[in-house]
Amino acid sequence: MRKPLLLLAVAALVPGPLHSQTAPGKPVDWTALATESQRVLSDYLKINTTNPPGNEILAANFLKAILEREGIVVQLYDSAELGSGHVNLYARIKGNGTKKAIALVNHMDVVPATPSFWSVDPFGGIVKDGYIWGRGAIDMKGEAVAHLMAMIALKRSGVPLNRDIVFIANSDEEFTSTGALAFVKNHADLLKDVEYIITEATENSVKNGKVDYFSVGVAEKRTFWQRLTVKGVPSHGSRPTKQNPVPRLVRALNRIAEFETPLHVTPGVEKFFRDISRLYPEPRRSWLADVKKAIENPQAREWILSDVYWNAYLRNTISLTGMTGSGKTNVIPPEATADIDVRLLPDTDPAQMLATLKGIVADTAVHFTTLLEPKTPLESPTDTDLFRAIERAARDREPNAFVTTPMQTGATDRPTYRKLGIVTYAIDPFKTEQAERQRGVHGNDERLSVENVIFGVRYVYDILRYAQ
């Protein structure tokens, strides 16, 4: 790997010509493509698209230059609506049209990074110790490069395509998702023939370099943030009154904190537990194989719910995350507010959940305001050509691993596209240890191993090829 690492270390911010490594109809030169892909990722990580403000136009121009050198037509959209520095990118390579298209969707923005907490420059694209370091290496510029280079490899190789391959890079996923919202609203015509979307975010289970399972995200919880407000009468803190809104709000929050939401097993989650049961000894194997029955067993229920991920897969969740009262210790405030992070299962009715919360609080003085309306419910089917293509590509990578469907507990742009009827899957194209993802994604010293770059490109390439 010394030659690829050296090339990466001296790469310039603006990519040089990406000479075709594969003549049409010829096998892909994976060694050459690995070097090329690693350089592209290093260069891409040098572009600071921290959101806010985002400034994704720099990333879009970078991707546009690469795609156009490959003879792929690229369009930039929605700059007027999204505002200065923001833009969406769209490109497509044509198949013969006998099947509907597959779209590869990524986002160009990244969350902030505090350089003082990093061991390297978070926007240096530095290569050392077998890793490419930088904000976005995993979330999600690394995955974007896997999409990009797999698409380019397909075009260069001349593999017959029954489906068009679409590449979409959105702005503003990490802040308010305006990029995807604008693209779907303004360009439904560009998506009308898209049957499938591949995007983030899910995690493969990798332990000590061994893949237990590859994940396909088919379902996602919906964000339903609420603000609770209680009005009061301001006065001096030395003279307590019953018009102090803080105690009333605290009582309401305590009732919510003590409430245990009911358990509910959705189809994708039931499949996930059944699939992973093979990894556990008895009696846990049997519990997971029939999780609906297991949650009626106190011992099984306690063990299953002790995992914070599994607990979140099985119920609507409520987290108390913020409270504001007076700005001064000796002042009783005119109002007190609290924010709660509510996440709904795909088949939960938001209106019913709000009614439940109000019933728990049982105090008309506590007013609820929805801070974030839930997106379109997301639960995609698994009996599809693309899901089978993912399973086949996964077996090629790791014959002893399997493919399963964990729930996404956070929020992505997938529901925005799903409302058009597109089957939407999240894949993780990399073999990244869970601890590595946990510390790097939205954390410090985010990095992706050099070997993982081409692993991801080949995985996506095979998925696209097998889905033809």
Highest mean pLDDT among 5-19, 332-346, 426-440: 332-346
Flag whether pLDDT at 19 surpasses 70.
no
What was the pLDDT predicted at 3? 40
- Regarding predicted confidence, which is higher, 215 or 378? 215
The single residue listed with the structure tokens 């919906």 is: 222
* Cα(451)–Cα(456) distance, integer angstroms: 9
pLDDT in tens, 363-378: 999 999 999 888 888 8
Could you tell me what percent of the chain has a pLDDT over 90?
Answer: 87
What was the pLDDT predicted at 412? 85
Query: Using N-to-C axis directions, what is the helix angle for 57-69 and 141-157, rounded to 10°?
Result: 20
Tokens of 51: 């959101």
* Cα(197)–Cα(171) distance, integer angstroms: 17
Average pLDDT, the chain: 93
pLDDT in tens, 154-199: 999 998 999 999 999 999 999 888 999 999 999 999 999 999 999 9
Could you tell me what percent of the chain has a pLDDT over 70?
Answer: 95
* Cα(27)–Cα(135) distance, integer angstroms: 33
pLDDT in tens, 100-117: 999 999 999 999 999 999
Q: Give the pLDDT band (50/70/90) at residue 23.
A: very low
| Plot region of 402 (φ>0 → left; ψ -120 to 50 → alpha; else → beta) | beta
* Cα(102)–Cα(92) distance, integer angstroms: 10
Flag whether pLDDT at 454 surpasses 80.
yes
| Lowest pLDDT segment from 162-176, 199-213, 280-294 | 199-213
Per the DSSP assignment, residues forming a β-bridge with 165 are 93, 102
Flag whether pLDDT at 342 surpasses 60.
yes
pLDDT in tens, 313-328: 999 999 999 999 999 9
Tokens of 382: 């698994």
In the predicted model, what is the mean pLDDT of residues 285-294? 98
What was the pLDDT predicted at 439? 82
Flag whether pLDDT at 89 surpasses 50.
yes
Domains of the chain listed by start with CATH number: 2-218+380-466 (3.40.630.10), 222-370 (3.30.70.360)
Flag whether pLDDT at 7 surpasses 60.
no
